[in-house]
């Protein structure tokens, strides 16, 4: 398994376990306090848990090897599952949480009684500790996956939105807990349930923002996004430096899966380098000696086809050796 997939999988499993525990605790806190922001946080954690289960399914599904039905593998399956999870977060997390928060806000008055929120606050502090820990694990996974790329560049344009999704969810989970704590604290200070309801709406909006970001980051890869400009430039320079290559007429890439690229390249060979001059001189000598020119020319043409074929195979092997992320090569000779 690729190290990036391995680190991402660890982060996903840790997030599933942590969020399942926190979800249970938050629902208990909501039943005790009936706090709108606590319910928002409970739904938030439930959405995160279900989402990360879908991320795990995507990782396992996308790890399938190439088959006759899927000759390039199933690497993009994880992006499909990520997109499904983003839709779930948007409709369940953002939709339900925001609707409930707005409904509570419309029904409340500033003078409604505020119950004892001490248990809810303790549960939120516990949730903050657990979710901060899973956030640190997700950050470590992204750090391992990004390699030499700048952190924010990888977060914005990396080819593994799964790890970024876990990082984003955990970061927003921590922000959500702090928001809920703020709502409960302000409600206790002002003895009004209004701040608590407002904070539940804020949490719902955070979930909506997260869902949109996840949808965009996965959608761009499903649409066939290319490798980074630096990667393409490096591949082009390597091929153009090849002794038998005169120039690269066209070079295109597409992300198949995290750490997996498809390369389509059109090249022009140096004909003079590929020509076997000594063999052609021998062929010419045979013609001068009276052998059938048509037969000898046929042999020469057939030999050149084999020479070009061997050179293409050698070039493809060297490209894969230099760029192990290139798993599929479509090479065309102009």
Pick the CATH number of 3-222 from 1.10.3720.10, 3.90.76.10, 1.20.1510.10, 3.40.50.620: 1.20.1510.10
| Residue 4 phi, psi dihedral angles, 5° rounding | -70, -40
Which residues, in sequence order, are CB contacts of 132 under 8 Å at separation 6+?
Answer: 174
Joined together, the tokens standing for residue 79 give: 């992006």
**Least trusted range by pLDDT, from 55-69, 181-195, 238-252:** 55-69
Q: Is the pLDDT of residue 48 over 90?
A: no
CA–CA separation, 42 and 319 (whole Å): 50
CB contact burial 237-257 (16+ within 10 A = b; e otherwise): ebbeebebbeebeebebbbbb
Which residue in 83, 40, 88, 80 sits closest to 60, CA to CA?
80
Q: What pLDDT band is residue 1 in, cutting at 50, 70 and 90?
A: very low
Residue with tokens 């923002």: 209
Q: How many alpha carbons fall within 13 Å on the CB side of residue 95?
A: 7
Q: What is the pLDDT of residues 98-118, one digit of tens each?
A: 887 788 778 766 565 566 667
Burial of 303 (0-12, 13-18, 19+ CB in 10 A): middle
Asked if 173 contacts 131 with a C-beta cutoff of 8 angstroms, the reply is yes
Average pLDDT, the chain: 79
Asked if 26 contacts 19 with a C-beta cutoff of 8 angstroms, the reply is no
Q: What is the pLDDT of residues 279-291, one digit of tens each?
A: 777 777 777 777 7
233-236, long-range: CB < 8 A, 24+ apart: 234/323, 235/263, 235/319, 235/323, 235/326
CA–CA separation, 18 and 23 (whole Å): 9
Beta strands in 129-280 (DSSP E): 245-257, 260-269
Compute the average pLDDT of residues 320-333: 89
* Residue ranges of domains in the chain: 3-222, 229-333
For residue 209, count other CB atoms closer than 10 A to its CB. 14
Instruction: Tell me, yes or no, if the pTM score tops 0.75.
Output: no
CA–CA separation, 334 and 324 (whole Å): 25
Compute the average pLDDT of residues 193-218: 83
CA–CA separation, 269 and 278 (whole Å): 19
Q: Is the pLDDT of residue 146 over 60?
A: yes
Joined together, the tokens standing for residue 158 give: 């990396």
Q: What pLDDT band is residue 251 in, cutting at 50, 70 and 90?
A: very high
CB contact burial 121-158 (16+ within 10 A = b; e otherwise): bebbebbbebbeebbebbbebbebbbeeeeeeebbebb
Q: What size, in residues, is the chain?
A: 334
Reported CATH class of domain 229-333:
alpha beta
């Amino acid at each position: 398994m690729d190290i990036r997939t391995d680190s991402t999988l660890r982060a996903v499993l840790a997030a599933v376990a942590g969020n399942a525990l926190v979800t249970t605790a938050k629902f208990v806190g909501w039943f005790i306090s009936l706090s709108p922001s606590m319910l928002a946080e409970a739904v938030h954690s439930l959405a995160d848990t279900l989402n990360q289960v879908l991320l795990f399914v995507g990782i396992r599904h996308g790890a399938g090897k190439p088959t006759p039905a899927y000759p390039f593998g199933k690497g993009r399956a994880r992006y499909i599952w990520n997109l499904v999870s983003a839709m779930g977060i948007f409709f369940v997390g953002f939709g339900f949480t925001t609707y409930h928060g707005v409904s509570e806000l419309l029904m409340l008055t500033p003078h409604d009684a505020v119950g004892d929120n001490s248990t809810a606050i303790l549960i939120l502090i516990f949730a903050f500790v657990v979710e901060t820990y899973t956030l640190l694990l997700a950050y470590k996974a992204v750090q391992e996956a990004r390699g030499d790329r700048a952190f924010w560049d990888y977060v914005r344009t990396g080819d593994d939105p799964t790890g970024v999704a876990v990082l984003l969810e955990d970061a927003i989970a921590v922000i959500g807990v702090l928001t809920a704590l703020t709502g409960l604290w302000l409600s206790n200070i002002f003895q009004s349930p209004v701040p608590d309801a407002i904070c539940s709406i804020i949490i719902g909006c955070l979930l909506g923002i997260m869902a949109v970001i996840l949808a965009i980051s996965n959608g761009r890869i499903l649409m066939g996004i290319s490798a980074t400009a630096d990667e393409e430039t490096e591949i082009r320079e390597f091929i153009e430096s090849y002794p038998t290559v005169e120039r690269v007429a066209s070079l295109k890439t597409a992300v198949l899966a995290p750490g997996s690229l498809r390369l389509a390249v059109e090249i022009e060979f140096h004909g003079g380098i590929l020509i076997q001059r000594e063999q052609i001189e021998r062929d010419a000598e045979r013609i001068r000696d009276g052998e059938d020119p048509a037969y000898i020319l046929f042999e020469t043409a057939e030999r050149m086809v084999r020479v070009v074929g061997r050179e293409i195979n050698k070039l493809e092997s060297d490209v894969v050796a230099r760029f192990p992320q290139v798993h599929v090569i479509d090479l065309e000779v102009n």
